[in-house]
A and B are shown apart, each in its own frame.
Chain A
Amino acid sequence: MIDWGWIADHVPAILGRAVQHLEFAAIALVVGFAISFGLALLSVRYRPAYPVVAGLAGILFTIPSLALYSSFVPVIGLSLLTVEIPLVLYTLVIYVRNIVAGFDSVPAEVLEAADGMGYTRMQRLRAVELPLAVPLMVAGLRVASVSTIGLVTISGILGSSFGGFGFFIFERPNFATEILVGAVGSIALALLADALFGVLQRRLTPWSRLNVELEMAKTGRSAAQATAAV
């Protein structure tokens, strides 16, 4: 049923698509995080902005991906931006919610103690708030990476220079082997990203790893909340 010969003949092409897939996803994840971090800081410092930011990002996420990809084509034609703009927009809701939740998770008494001991605003942000917000931020990165990798696959609909593994799914609708390569490749990348960020999350917070059960339960729950919110 599976044409192993085709796979053997197309190893360079498959690897090339894997690189493209990761490239598309990585760009969106990095740019999306930068934008979201700014929006989240704004939301934390100026609370009334939060419902507006989260609401808009939420609406963007409800737009079906096929529709969003296609709607940019008449405006900016086919370029890297045609893929990246929708991908970045989709990450916003996941990131912003998690980064804000990260800052909110810093206990009030820790902030009070920091202020009382004479931290300046910037020192407090850098030395206290950021490190304590990291677990939830990485949890957001983890969810966003899985979601983005999935959406890159769909960008294959835009044509042969897009899609990463999605290219194989859309190229020949009747050739099962090629479709399977695209699907399995996409799934493998998503699982890999999820595992990678899971490890990173624990590496970055040695202080919470000591409290393994408690912290695992917490991060598990917040990741689930983020997914549910999505």
Chain B
Amino acid sequence: MATAESVVFEHVTKRYGVAEARREAAAGRLPAAVDDLSFEVPAGRICVLVGPSGCGKTTSLKMVNRLIEPTSGRILIGGEDVATRDVIALRRSIGYVIQQVGLFPHQTVGENVETVTRLLGWAPERRRARSDELLELVGLDPSRYATRYPSQLSGGERQRVGVARALAADPPVLLMDEPFGAVDPIVRERLQNELLHLQDQLAKTILFVTHDIDEAIKMGDLVAVMQAGGHLAQFAPPAEILANPASDFVARFVGADRGLKRLALTRVNELDLMAPVTASPGEDAAEARRRALADPFPWLLLVDAMRRPLGWVEEADIPTSGNLTEELASAMSPLLDRRTTLKDALARLIEAEVQAGVVTDARGAVIGLVTAEMIFDWSRRTAEEARASEGPTRETAS
């Protein structure tokens, strides 16, 4: 496996002269300028370039594999200036995925995936083996798909082949230009999840362009928000961009619901969960009642021997004598796996009878409670913390 390599932009600027702009327009492209772009993507991370159309995000991407040459500045891959490398060799060493996929219609799926390995002169058997391996990796059975032509595939299948083709020579860097922009929302979400899953195994350095802020937040370890004129408005991890937008532009671009979006980035087990008062059927009721009354939360949680939740008992309903029975449980509340996001937890709590979600571990045992108030508190506190450490964010965003 080729190791991933860092990608560094150093004061990269692209301006279009009148003649060049006209030539691009004639070829049906709308050239967008880029202004003094500097940022660093560490090896193995996904960096999403996001912004409205005309902000220069695609131009920035194409300067990495030199489909567009910068006017000034340098781009380094693994510390080496791309301008000093042979342009053909450079491109063969970088994976490239575009929105319309651009599969060769006259070649089969297998031949398409073999493109770069063929250009690199691999032996046919080795190319074939690699192509089969990659098709399997992206979830397409090679025995069924390798001999088909692109016209026989669905949009989602084509995009998968596009990804397999880009990975053929195991490139350390992958460029993806709105790769999921042309498929429907359901397929898009599936492809996003698959790519994240793939990335867990591959750990490539990925530069990913999109105009969709939700996609940027979901996919990016780092997000570069760009604005018209090719300016970098902010470069930070998604949580920080949502908690502390560097400018009015970024705040508007991430949307008025950025607080909610931030909730989608955090999971319930990251909060300090509240410990519930618990008891099991068969235990002494009077003793359980005393413990429940001593706790400010007005409900007792009934659990089984494995500490799996059975239901809630209101304090007033706990008998003063005898033993607890399972029938006492009068209400349930949302059971939340520990990996549930705060956003989903809140959505479930809004409709619940008991306003506390029961967070469970992988075996279903109770590990704590989460309430809407706790989520609101977390949101307020982290936003304040982000604002307090605002200095460094502004600097990286300059």
Contacts and interface: CB of A to CB of B under 8 A. Distances in A.
Interface in A62-119: 107-119
A72 B88 CA distance: 51
Interface residues of B, number: 29
Contacts of B101: 109, 113
Interface stretch (A35-43, A153-161, A203-211): A203-211
A208 B96 contact: no
Contacts of B100: 107, 109
A111 B102 CA distance: 8
A145 to B, nearest CB: 24
B151 A116 contact: no
A69 to B, nearest CB: 41
B105 A112 contact: no
A125 to B, nearest CB: 14
Contacts of B91: 115-118
A198 interface: no
A112 B92 contact: no
B105 A208 contact: yes
Given A132-B105, A210-B151, A117 B98 contact: no
Interface in B11-34: 26-28
Interface string A167-198: 00000000000000000000000000000000
B151 A117 contact: no
B123 to A, nearest CB: 18
Contacts of A207: 105-107, 149, 151
Given A107-B102, A110-B105, A112-B98, A117 B149 contact: no
Interface in B97-129: 98-107, 115-116, 119
B65 interface: yes
What does DSSP make chain A's interface, helix, strand, loop or mixed? Answer: helix
Contacts of A211: 151
B67 A116 contact: yes
Contact of A119 (B89, B119, B149): B119
A118 B89 contact: yes
A200 to B, nearest CB: 16
A91 B119 CA distance: 37
A116 B98 CA distance: 10
B320 interface: no
A113 B62 CA distance: 12
B92 A117 contact: yes
Contacts of A205: 106
A131 B106 contact: yes
A117 B106 contact: no
Most chain B Cβ neighbours within 10 Å, of A123, A207, A211 = A207
- Rank and list the top 5 A-B pairs by shortest CB-CB distance, nearest first: A113-B102, A118-B91, A118-B92, A116-B96, A109-B100
Given A109-B101, A113-B104, A132-B106, 13 more contacts: A110-B103, A112-B98, A113-B96, A113-B98, A114-B102, A116-B98, A117-B96, A118-B119, A132-B104, A207-B106, A207-B149, A207-B151, A211-B151
Interface of B: 26-28, 65, 67, 88-92, 96, 98-107, 115-116, 119, 149, 151-152, 165, 175
11 contacts: A107-B100, A108-B28, A109-B102, A110-B102, A110-B104, A113-B103, A114-B102, A115-B91, A118-B89, A208-B106, A210-B149
